[in-house]
Structure 1
Amino acid sequence: MAGYEDRDGLIWMDGEMVEWRDAKVHILTHAMHYASSVFEGERAYNGKIFKSREHSERLIASAEALDMPMPYTVDQIEAAKEETLKASGLQDAYVRAIVWRGSGEDMGVASAKNPVRMAIAVWGWGAYYGDAKMKGAKLDIAEWKRPSPETIPVHAKAAGLYMICTISKHKAEAKGCSDALFMDYRGYVAEATGANIFFVKDGEVHTPKPDCFLNGITRQTVIGMLKDRGITVHERHIMPEELDGFEQCWLTGTAAEVTPVGEIGPHRFEVGELTQEIAKAYEELVRS
């Protein structure tokens, strides 16, 4: 597979379809220097983007949180995504919409004079964790912590929030793990580097309360699926010492979908019946 900068295809960029290799920005783009960028990761199944409108709405909310006035409405973003997906020729695909402060009159921390730009790219992307979807992912425990809401806009899907995710995932992969689990600034269990986390104990589900990290769209979908099945879901603060008492574990995210977890550091989990049931049901839902 060629690098992401060297592929055939088209990318939607500021209202126009651009040849993939020509979709470029200037080196003095504000986002490159000051992380003034937000994005969405979405999946299309059978030619339809799952929860597309919710993603577009969140993209606008994230941009507003970073004081970036969006140049497009939800309806315009929806139309642009559909156009780009159609141009890709793919039915099952990953869709990346990104909004950023471009280059302009400002080249310091402030960037109010610089244009807000947007692009959408579509490509084929299989299982995010590879064969972990069958046997269970292996997670490291990250050294970094999810920050306080008083320090950063934690509910925005902002590029800057992923800096510690990249560091932590690199360290995890060097140890032979698929991902890393973050604690938050208070010491509670939070999330993985790009996915929310769920645990099972005595037939009930426990998941961290998203008060300092992104309340994922897939997370919300899975909680709804569990409740529809009459399964009790506890959204609460979870202490690290509780990990030993949980029987099953899985991750959720647009890229991750529903991926079972077999290990987190010294803790072990079975890829149990409920985990398999929810993973299968989610796969059926997104393709329905």
Structure 2
Amino acid sequence: MAGSYAELDGKIWMDGKLVDWKDANVHLLTHAMHYASSVFEGERAYGGKIFESRKHSERLLNSGRALDMEIPWTVDEIEAAKYETMKANGLEDAYIRVLAWRGAGEDMGVSSSRNPVRMAVATWAWGSYYGDAKTRGAKLDIAKWKRPSPETAPFEAKAAGLYMICTMSKHAAEAKGCSDAMMFDYRGYVAEATGANIFFVKDGEVHTPLPDCFLNGITRQTVLGMLRDRQVRIHERHIMPEELEGFEQCWLTGTAAEVTPVGQIGDYNFEVGAMTRDISNAYETLVRS
């Protein structure tokens, strides 16, 4: 997309009504802008149907609760808002961003219990997250930042504040000519990319990090189910950095990333092999079924 997202045409759903895209604004003293009191979902629609839509809406509410922020809309109301926004923008194949946050109110400090919780839904056309990496494999840097301990942040929430180190890691990767960065966790185990979960293949078996300090993505769970249907042996476990040398294939999963092959992580190279291609193609078929 060329130009600023702020300058797109269309409608955005805000707090129960559709408003013009350029009028979907918040006050400078919105609590989320100062203290990251915000949660969100990223979703994709294929042929007018949002993939795993209710799971995303349910997770949004759970993320809000994890931040002590009760979102005053039900799953059914969130579902209706998403489809209303898509229809208003004339979209069938679309990316959907649902955002809930603490707005401006009586509190302007760390505490925000008296401020209203607001919600918005934006939809737009968005192609491949990693460009042509789906055919040749994405190139990843290795991030210097690590996913934090569960004792320091509610990792099970899709919370805006948790993405600060992801943004910095991706900027550093792009400066090196990479598409993204792989992150370790606070213990030094392989964790995930900045906005996607990660899988490896060795001797026909799949290895993927145990999501005990990072988000267990909905796409990740979908792909695990696809692998089980194929009776592929799966190892969900802690993966040490030195094991990267022995893996043959690698791919990323996420709503934006879908299933994207990885060709390189740092100095380690991977083939875009048969299992990677099969899972990627099968996922494309599934989301459009």
> Fold match, TM over 0.5?
yes
Classify the secondary structure of the residue corresponding to 1:27.
coil
The offset of 1:90, in angstroms, is: 1.1
Query: Match for residue 183 of structure 1?
Result: 184
Query: Match for residue 12 of structure 1?
Result: 13
Q: Distance in 2 between matches of 1:54 and 1:106?
A: 32
Classify the secondary structure of the residue corresponding to 2:91.
coil
Classify the secondary structure of the residue corresponding to 2:112.
coil
Query: Match for residue 241 of structure 2?
Result: 240
Classify the secondary structure of the residue corresponding to 1:277.
helix
| Identity score, percent | 76
Give a deviation string over 1:29-67, Cα, whole Å, max 9, x none. Answer: 000000000000000000100000000000000000001
Query: Match for residue 79 of structure 2?
Result: 78
Letter paired with 1:164:
I
Query: Match for residue 129 of structure 1?
Result: 130
Letter paired with 2:178:
C
Q: What stretches of structure 2 of length at least 5 have no aligned partner?
A: none
Paired residues in the alignment total 288
Q: Distance in 2 between matches of 1:11 and 1:67?
A: 26
Q: TM-score, normalised by structure 2?
A: 0.99
Q: Distance in 2 between matches of 1:143 and 1:9?
A: 39
Give a deviation string over 1:1-21, Cα, whole Å, max 9, x none. Answer: 231111110000000000000
Query: Match for residue 287 of structure 1?
Result: 288
Q: Distance in 2 between matches of 1:70 and 1:24?
A: 19
Q: Distance in 2 between matches of 1:215 and 1:239?
A: 19
Q: How does 1:26-41 map to 2 (within 5 A)?
A: 26-41=27-42
Letter paired with 1:213:
F
Displaced runs of 4+ in structure 1, greater than 3 A? Answer: none
Classify the secondary structure of the residue corresponding to 1:38.
strand
Query: Match for residue 193 of structure 1?
Result: 194
Letter paired with 1:83:
E
CA RMSD of aligned residues (A): 0.4
Query: Match for residue 106 of structure 1?
Result: 107
Classify the secondary structure of the residue corresponding to 2:259.
strand
The offset of 1:91, in angstroms, is: 1.1
The offset of 1:173, in angstroms, is: 0.1
Classify the secondary structure of the residue corresponding to 1:183.
strand
Give a deviation string over 1:189-231, Cα, whole Å, max 9, x none. Answer: 0000000000000000000000000000000000000000010
Classify the secondary structure of the residue corresponding to 1:207.
strand
Letter paired with 1:194:
G
Q: TM-score, normalised by structure 1?
A: 1.00
Q: How does 1:1-288 map to 2 (within 5 A)?
A: 1-288=2-289
Q: Distance in 2 between matches of 1:87 and 1:213?
A: 35
Give a deviation string over 1:70-90, Cα, whole Å, max 9, x none. Answer: 110001101111101111111
Q: What stretches of structure 1 of length at least 5 have no aligned partner?
A: none
Q: Distance in 1 between matches of 2:284 and 2:8?
A: 29
Letter paired with 2:269:
R
Classify the secondary structure of the residue corresponding to 1:91.
coil
Letter paired with 1:114:
N
Give a deviation string over 1:128-165, Cα, whole Å, max 9, x none. Answer: 00001110000000000000000000110000000000
Q: Distance in 2 between matches of 1:285 and 1:25?
A: 38
Give a deviation string over 1:106-136, Cα, whole Å, max 9, x none. Answer: 0000000100000000001000000011100
